[in-house]
Structure 1
Amino acid sequence: MGFFRKKSVEVDAPKPQRNLGLAMVTLERARPLPEGALLAFLLDNWPELPRAKEVRQEGDTLSFELDGAAVTLTLMRAPIPWGDLEGPARAAWHWPEATERLKTHLAHVLVAVLAPGMDRIATMLLLTRVVAAVASTTDASGVYWGEGPVVNAPDDFVEEAKRTSRERLPLYLWLAFQLSRNPDGTFTLATSGMRSFGFMELELVALREKPATLVDRAFNFAHYLLDHGPVLKDGDTIGLSAQERFRIRHVPSAVEPSRTVYRIEL
């Protein structure tokens, strides 16, 4: 994907919070965290990671140091409030059973990664791997990535996490790609979650392309930004090929007008 800069407009980009990553894994029942299986899963699937150090299990909390980051897993013997999950579950077009699976969970694991020495993407990649380890070795019924917010089935999350790298970011796990149908039959797509990386959200508004095509385009545009930084200025064009050029505008959101977003004009 390439871009051509036309003009520059200064926009206050959202700033990410301190380098703390949080996610939750919903559980069908509350059981002690399987320390041995969980750490083995990390080594088996990502052999480039060093072994965990300073491993401690105190009550319902398992903590360790991994690749310079402090990891804390806390078993919460109560469900996530349904008010937090209802919207993401209803919007989970990629997981039709989300509401059914999540509504009956009885406990959850809060996963926290504090990585002051890493950049934001490296922190989120490490968090993704730890969450996958939890989802694979417990009675998991779902994964809630609150910064989207987006929910995923445990098996889908684990399989996607195994394929991730710095070059292949798991944006379907990190971002919500919110689709809505307009009265005239067109579709609007808005991302949610880019702000956690310090970027404005993306919107593709009132378009007649198929929803799958819009999601694919938004994925590629978001990946480009995370790869290259906030290089897309108001009036730039971007495309996947020399023949394809889409204009970028910095405009108020069609979904939340108080925010400025990247609007992709197809």
Structure 2
Amino acid sequence: MSSALLALVLLDNPATPDMSAVAKALHARHPELATEAIGDGRTQQAQANSPLIRCGNELVAVMSMPAPIPQDQGLWARAATNWPESKAVAVRHRGHLIVSMLGKSEQPLVSARMTTAVIGALIATMPEVCGVVWAGGVARPADLWLDMSRDSFAPFPDYPFTLWIDILPYRSGDKIGAVTMGLSAFVGREIEFVTGKLTLPALFDKVAGLSVYLIEHGSVVKDGDTIGASASERIQVRHKNSDAFGGLPVFYCVDEFKH
């Protein structure tokens, strides 16, 4: 399995999905995608019990685990900012599914799209699903995932990258900052952006725009590069280990570049 984009689908009670039903739901939600549950070709039951589902040319594995996921206080503290019920879900769930594309895709975005679509189909067919933990660091409610995963194969920049990445605000002296959580699964680093000029909504827009650009194109922003929407807006980017977040590898962005 590809561990970086492995997802955990939380269940109120342990359950095993009917993968033939999941394949039908996946096809209904994404008619452009060739889908099927992979059985031994002999019986309907073999397909229903298969741990594999074919999505186009890829295989996605779904494993049922009759136990809750390990507790991670940091994960649920972050999730609670936008999902007030998240801590209750963390406490009450009794089972989970592990979902991951087989093998290592050369393009993490391909894995993310496929895995996200399969999770949407699992939620559509399993009333037990109560939440999703993406890549070990981002938690979202099941209903949000069900809705947004319909856009799994939307063109750039409209795919549901906010299911995969958190953008968290913080204060740095008299400045404000934002840091991502989840981007490193795609490009090996998070974004840390500090500004003394932008409002918080504008800062979030900058970080979201850079995040989806990196998801689409890969780690193309080099150490020392400058980025910006116009010639007058130049934002310096450094590759470094974060001083504020425990040595986390980041694209460190500041909007005070002198030129």
Contact kept, 8 Å, 1:61 with 1:74, in 2: the verdict is no
Q: Identify which range, 133-142 or 227-236, moves more after superposition.
A: 227-236
SS in 1 for 2:227: strand
Query: Which amino acid is 2:36 matched to?
Result: A
My pick for the range that moved more, 86-95 or 244-253, is 244-253
Aligned 1:91-130 pairs, distance under 5 A:
91-92=78-79, 93-116=81-104, 119-130=107-118
Residue 160 of structure 2 is aligned to residue 160 of structure 1: no
Normalising to structure 2: TM-score of the pair? 0.82
Alignment-derived partner of residue 27 in structure 1: 11
For residue 79 of structure 1, give the secondary structure of its aligned residue in structure 2: coil
Normalising to structure 1: TM-score of the pair? 0.80
Structure 1 Cα separation of the partners of residues 18 and 107 of structure 2:
29
Change (3 A) 1:20 1:257: closer
Q: Per-residue deviation at 1:208?
A: 6.8
Q: Which residue of 1 aligns with 2:163?
A: 173
The total of aligned residue pairs comes to 246
Cα gap change, 1:117/1:30 in structure 2, threshold over 3 Å: closer, same or farther? closer
Work out whether residues 5 and 185 of structure 2, in 8 Å CA contact, stay in contact via their aligned partners in 1.
Answer: no
Other structure's SS at 2:205 match: helix
Let me know the Cα RMSD of the aligned residues. Answer: 2.8
The percentage of counterpart residues that share the same residue type is 27
Please name the residue that 1:50 is paired with.
34
1:207/1:188 CA distance change after superposition, 3 Å: same
Q: Measured at CA, do residues 160 and 58 of structure 1 come closer, stay the same or move farther in structure 2, by a change above 3 Å?
A: closer
CA distance in 2, matches of 1:111, 1:40: 17
Cα distance in 2 for partners of 1:55, 1:205 equals: 51
Match of 1:140 in 2: 129
2:51 aligns to what SS in structure 1? Answer: strand
Q: Equivalences for 1:75-94 in 2 at 5 Å?
A: 75-82=64-71, 84=72, 86-92=73-79, 93-94=81-82
Label 1:191 to 1:71 Cα distance change in 2 as closer, same or farther (>3 A): same
Q: Following superposition of structure 1 onto structure 2, how do residues 174-193 of structure 1 map, counting pairs within 5 Å?
A: 174-182=164-172, 184=173, 186-193=175-182
| Alpha-carbon distance, 1:105 to partner | 0.6
For structure 1, list consecutive stretches of 5 or more residues without a partner in the other structure: 1-16
Unaligned runs of 5+ in 2: 41-45
